[in-house]
Amino acid sequence: MLQNIAAGFAALFTWENILFLVMGTLVGLIIGALPGLTGNMAIALMVPITYTMSATTGLVFLTSIYCSSIFGGSISAILLGIPGTISSFATTLDGYPMAKQGKAGMALGISTISSVFGGLFSAIVLMFLTTVLAEFALKFGPAEYFAVAVLGLSCIASIGGKSITKGLLSGFIGLFFAVIGQDPQRGTKRFVFDIHLLGGVTLVAALIGIFGVISVLKNAEKKSKETGPIPEVDKVWIGWKMCRKLLPTWLRGSIIGTIIGIIPGAGTNVATFLAYDTENKFNRSEPKFGEGNPKGVAAPEAANNGVTGGSMVPLLALGVPGNATSALFLGALLLKGLTTGPVLFTEHADVAYSLFLAFFFANVVMAPLGLFILRYMKKILSIPESLLGGIILAFCMTGVFSISSSSFDVLTCIFFGVLGYAFYKFDIPTAPLIVCLVLGSMAESNLQQALVANNQSYSFLWTHPIALVVLLIALVSFFVPIISKLVKSTRKARHPNTVTAGDLAEDTSDEMDDD
Amino acid sequence: MKKILALILTLVLTFAFASTALAAFPEKEVTIVVPFAAGGNVDLCCRIIADEMTKILGQQVIVDDRPGGGAIIGQTYALGQPADGYTMLALTSSFVTNILSGDTDFGMENATAIGQFCFDPEIVVVGVDSGITTIDEFMAAAKAGALTNSTPGFSTSHHIASLILTETFGLTPFAYMHTDGSAEQVVQLAGGHAQCGMTTYGGAATLIAEGKIIPLAVCNSERHQALPDVPTMAECGYDFVYGAYRGFAVPAGTPEDVVNTLSDALKQAMESEAVIKAFNDSGFPIMYLNAADYQKMLDEDYKNMEAIYYLLDEE
């Protein structure tokens, strides 16, 4: 093992590799930060460039793009309130409010350090536990996938805002949009009035519509009334005290990210939702989640970079890519004549271990580079919002168009922008819609598959131990926030005059919301 | 005077156009439209070939991915371009099934074949937990009752292969579990969540090597070079050839000499060392067919698919 690591070091540390490591990190950061452009896209375009490189250099380059693009997504999520990819969607929920409160620097700093922590954690797991964990991935049948999807969906109870009804309404609308497209098991076309909808609604287009278009509309509306002061941005470095405070959050986020990342197909999206939701439930500190809590940025960012290493586990051990990005890595490996699986560790140990180390050092390089670039990037906020709006819209539309050079995606984006604006006007939260849109079809497809495997009997719900446990956690996760909201509101109704300090903030906003 | 002027002008223009037509094709870059996502198997094949064809044609050959709508979007786009040979479509099995689905504005007559470069035969596989070890045992079990069959999605070539297999040998229809992509499919088989499936070698290579997925027979006229111990279906007494084919086509009406130039360039590319090595390393079996043979193959496939298409509609 030590010998292999030493061989990996030797293979990794050449001038060429270090150059590509830094370059890849920069490319990833910038691509990730632009809404609509994803690391996946960047890697797909870079794979042909790696044909001419040595196997190690090629993998180092792709790895650094992968890691930093996931982190880069948090930049636009925090500064502009637009998640460039679904994996940075949860970061928006607290990152953007923090930026609005003049803590943009702090939010970006937290996102940097959290991403690095999650990435390093998963790199270490990848290095030492790949073969053990790969067996875990095989345990996931349709029943287990269904349970994980339901667990993800259960988040809507706590991120659904103050009104249970409005949260559920948003969730159901999301599930409706998730139904559009071909029935995954029977092939029946559902609401496919245009051929572009055959594969369902383009998630990224919808996401950018809801967050991008709406943030521009909101600003336009506000600007026509008043011009607020430009929010202050503070330091990017968050200090050791904050690091210590966030350590438990990082650990939980990284573990969730790495484990979920291992399950092929479930990937990044579920991991960030779950990490955010878990922290939300553990959280006792102020301000509340959704109002700019640092932990709300730390958890999903640690998780989505945790996924990077996790998603490579099934690829390296089983030859099965965990998500779309690791599928591109598979292509790059194959083109070099390398086979995946245990053979890679025995016959090409230097390549395998330099890949592990590349994951490690890509994250190490990310911290100084990220903190350095962000010092300048946060200046975006000093552009007056009225001017920024147009630029944001142009970037959003270009990004959406670039997904598959389709003008239909642009229309989808505009449609969801208008829908999001309507939600905003009626004070309906948009987060449940996104969660349901992303996870709805995964839940549906796997439920149907599980039923086929079990002769149309629902007994799999309790005969598969993993599925059973996950489903029970999902039940608790769904009903606890709802019950506690109900209890609070009845208590309030009974004792209208006795208000605890913690409830105070909520009470005032409740009145605004409900009236 | 005006008439003479007009005549001269017409003549000049005619010659001008004639000379452009005579100029050697290609004069500018050629685009290959891939109707699938970047990084997928078809995209990967096309990028390897595009590099080599660039050298052969002396003009840039660019890959343009236009995924979505079960490949219909990219196919419609490519066939809607001018029939001048500057836009080629990466044409796969889905072209035929899409036409049969009735969702397309184009038909078989709208595409002219350039050539085939890859034929990836289907392999009948079972999970190690299924207890099945030979194709005969598999056939007996599949006749006796419904086996669970994992596919990478509804109406994918692996799903269609299973449907045709059922139809050809009178098997009990499989209980299908349509996952979301080939990664999930092979995990379902290796983890024992589904009993059998049809797949191509590339996606399952590692799990086959590890003995978690057992290949029973190859649906091709010859054995798979990566699996020399696995018999063909015909060797076991089951006459059955089916696989995913990949090739190029251009919009119908493209001049014949342009078609020939592209077809020859493809042939040269597929014989080049660089392409052979890259294809072998990636596990894509090379099988070149010229324009006429590929067209014939497509027309035959259309006939075969037409006969079994009701199976897809029924479900």
pLDDT tens digits, A242-261:
889 999 999 999 999 998 88
Average pLDDT over residues A259-273: 81
* CB pair distance less than 8 Å for A318 and B187: yes
Asked whether residue A490 carries a pLDDT value surpassing 50, the answer given is: yes
Work out the pLDDT band at A510, boundaries 50, 70, 90.
very low
The reply to whether A374 falls in a domain is yes
Q: Are the C-beta atoms of B290 and A344 separated by less than 8 Å?
A: no
Q: How far apart are CA B8 and CA B1, in angstroms?
A: 11
Domain assignment present for A391: yes
Residue B129 touches chain A, beta carbons under 8 Å: no
| Maximal CA-CA distance, chain B | 92
Looking at beta carbons, which residues of chain B come within 8 Å of A312?
none
CB-CB under 8 Å, B205 with A185: no
Pair (A107, A26) in one structural domain? yes
Residues A130-170 have pLDDT tens digits of: 888 888 888 889 999 999 999 999 988 888 778 889 999 99
Closest by CA position to B215, among listed B193, B235, B233: B233
Q: What is residue A258's predicted lDDT score, i.e. its pLDDT? A: 92
Neighbours of A453 (CB within 10 A): 21
Report the residue of chain B nearest A44, measured CA to CA: B39
Both A92 and A131 in one domain: the answer is: yes
CA distance B75 to chain A (A): 12
* pLDDT tens-digit readout, A85-94: 788 899 999 9
Q: Is B264 on the interface with A (CB under 8 A)?
A: no
- Residue B306 CA to residue B282 CA, distance in Å, equals 32
pTM over 0.90: no
The position carrying tokens 């990044």 is: A268
Token reading at A221: 């509306």
Rounded Cα gap, residues A174 and B303, in angstroms: 41
- Report the 10 Å Cβ neighbour count for B117: 26
How deeply is A464 buried, as exposed, middle or buried, from its count of CB atoms within 10 A (0-12, 13-18, 19+)? buried
Residue A120 — pLDDT band, cuts 50, 70, 90?
very high
User: Would you say residue A475 has pLDDT above 50?
Assistant: yes
pLDDT of residue A86: 83
The domain boundary, picked from A363, A384, A403, lies at A403
Chain A residue with Cα closest to B105:
A195
Q: Do B39 and A44 touch (CB under 8 A)?
A: yes
- Tens of pLDDT along A13-35? 899 999 999 999 999 998 888 88
Judged by a CB distance cut-off of 8 A, whether residue A328 touches chain B is yes
Phi, psi (deg, nearest 5) at residue B198? -120, 140
Backbone angles phi, psi at B56, to 5 degrees: -70, -45
Which residue of B65, B180, B187 is in closest CB contact with A137? B187
The phi-psi region of residue B134 (left if phi > 0; otherwise alpha if psi is between -120 and 50; otherwise beta) is beta
Token output for A54: 């040595």
Range of the domain at A504: 141-201+430-515
Compute the distance between CA of residue A290 and CA of residue A167 in angstroms, rounded to an integer.
Answer: 14
* Residue showing tokens 């930026």: A99
Residue A455 exposed, middle or buried by CB count within 10 Å (0-12, 13-18, 19+): exposed
Phi/psi for B146 (5° steps) reads: -75, 125
- Cβ of A334 and B281 within 8 Å? yes
Chain B contacts in chain A segment 443-462 (CB below 8 A): 445, 449, 452-453
pLDDT value at residue B44: 83
Residue intervals of chain B classified under CATH 3.40.190.10 are: 123-236
3 state DSSP class of B66: coil
Task: Calculate how close chain B gets to A191, using CA atoms only, in Å.
Answer: 13
A331 and B39 in contact by Cβ < 8 A? yes
- By C-alpha distance, which of B244, B221, B197, B266 is closest to B96? B244
CATH class as words, domain B123-236: alpha beta
How distant is the Cα of B183 from the closest Cα of chain A, in angstroms?
5
Residue-level pLDDT at A60: 93
Q: Give mean pLDDT, residues A362-372.
A: 89
Q: Running DSSP on this structure, what letter comes out for residue A430?
A: S
Q: What is the topology classification, in CATH, of domain B29-120+244-314?
A: D-Maltodextrin-Binding Protein; domain 2 (3.40.190)
- A452 to B175: CB separation less than 8 angstroms, yes or no: yes
Chain A residues whose CB is inside 8 A of the B315 CB are 186-187
Are residue A109 and residue A132 in the same domain, yes or no?
yes
- Look up the ipTM and state it: 0.83
Q: Find out whether B287 and B116 touch, Cβ atoms under 8 Å.
A: yes
Q: What residue in A sits closest to B156 (Cα-Cα)?
A: A187
Q: How many residue pairs from chains A and B have C-beta atoms closer than 8 A?
A: 153
Contact B191 A265 (CB under 8 A): no
Q: CB of B213 within 8 A of CB of B126? A: yes
Within 8 A of A182 by CB-CB distance, chain B residues are 70, 154
Same domain for A358 and A451:
no
**Does the beta-carbon distance from B283 to A334 stay under 8 Å?**
yes
Candidates A186, A199, A202; nearest CB to B315: A186
Is the separation of the CB atoms in B185 and A320 below 8 Å?
A: no
* Residue ranges, CATH 3.40.190.150, chain B: 29-120+244-314
- What is the chain A residue with the closest CA to B176? A452
Tokens of B139: 């056939």
For CA atoms A114, A116, A119, A120, give the dihedral sign.
Answer: negative
Q: How confident is the model at residue A503 (pLDDT cuts 50, 70, 90)?
A: very low
Q: How far apart are CA A303 and CA A250, in angstroms?
A: 8
Least confident interval from A39-53, A406-420, B68-82: A39-53
Nearest alpha-carbon partner for A166 in A347, A401, A431: A431
Residues in chain A within 8 Å Cβ distance of B226: none
SS3 A83: coil
Nearest one of A305, A313, A298 to A129, comparing CA atoms:
A313
Shortest distance between the Cα of A197 and any Cα of chain B, in A, equals: 7
**Cα(A133)–Cα(A125) distance, rounded to whole angstroms?**
9
Any B CB within 8 A of A477 CB: no
Given this model, what pLDDT does residue A7 score? 85
Please check whether residue A395 is in contact with residue A76, taking contact to mean a CB–CB distance below 8 angstroms: no
Residues A44 and A85 both lie in one domain: yes
Strand positions, DSSP E, A388-443? none
Q: For residues A411-416, give the mean pLDDT.
A: 94
A window 346-405, beta carbon within 8 A of B: 404-405
What are the angstrom distances between the C-alpha of A361 and each of A12, A17, A25, B174? 10, 11, 10, 48
| DSSP-assigned letter for residue B61 | E
Confidence bin at A491 (pLDDT 50/70/90): confident
> Using a CB-CB distance cutoff of 8 angstroms, which residues of chain B are in contact with residue A320?
183, 186-187, 206-207
Q: Which residue of B has its CA nearest to A322?
A: B183
Q: Outline where DSSP puts E strands in chain B.
A: 30-34, 61-65, 87-92, 111-121, 123-127, 148-151, 175-178, 196-199, 213-218, 243-251, 286-289
Provide the shortest C-alpha distance from residue A202 to chain B (in Å). Answer: 9
* Residue A206 confidence (pLDDT) above 60: yes
Pairing mode, strands B148-151 and A181-182? unpaired
Mean pLDDT of the region A44-68: 87
Of B68, B186, B188, the CB nearest to A196: B68
Closest CB to A182 among B67, B154, B202: B154
Decide if pLDDT at A322 tops 90. Answer: no
In a domain, A373, yes or no: yes
| Residues contacting residue A431 through CB under 8 Å, at least 6 positions apart | A93, A156, A159, A160, A161, A170
- Closest residue in chain B to residue A447, using alpha carbons only: B177
Pairing of strands B30-34, B61-65: parallel
CA angle B244, B289, B66 (to 5 degrees): 50
Q: What is the pLDDT of residue A1?
A: 73
Summarize the confidence of residues A204-231 as an average pLDDT.
74
Is A147 in the same domain as A81? no
Cα A236 to chain centroid distance, Å, stands at 22
Nearest chain B Cα to A327, which residue?
B39
Q: Is pLDDT at A511 greater than 50 in this prediction?
A: no
Amino acid, res. B112: T
Cα(A1)–Cα(A23) distance, integer angstroms: 29
Domain shared by A123 and A260, yes or no: yes
- Judge if A119 and A255 occupy the same domain: yes
Task: Report whether pLDDT(A441) > 70.
Answer: yes
Count of domains observed in chain A: 2
The nearest alpha carbon in chain A to B182 belongs to A320
Residues A369 and A389 in one domain: yes
Residue pointed to by tokens 């055959």: A198
Weakly modelled stretches of chain B, pLDDT under 70: 1-23, 314-315
Contact present, A89 and A204 (Cβ < 8 Å): no
User: A346 in helix, strand or coil?
Assistant: helix
- Measure the CA–CA gap between A340 and A357, rounded to whole angstroms: 17
In a domain, A384, yes or no: yes
Place of tokens 């979301």: B180
Instruction: Output the CA–CA distances (angstroms, integers) from residue A308 to A39, A151, A365, B18, in the order listed.
Output: 11, 21, 16, 57
- Give me the pLDDT at residue B148, please: 96
Give me the amino acid identity at A418: V
Instruction: Provide the terminal-to-terminal Cα distance of chain A, rounded to the nearest Å.
Output: 65
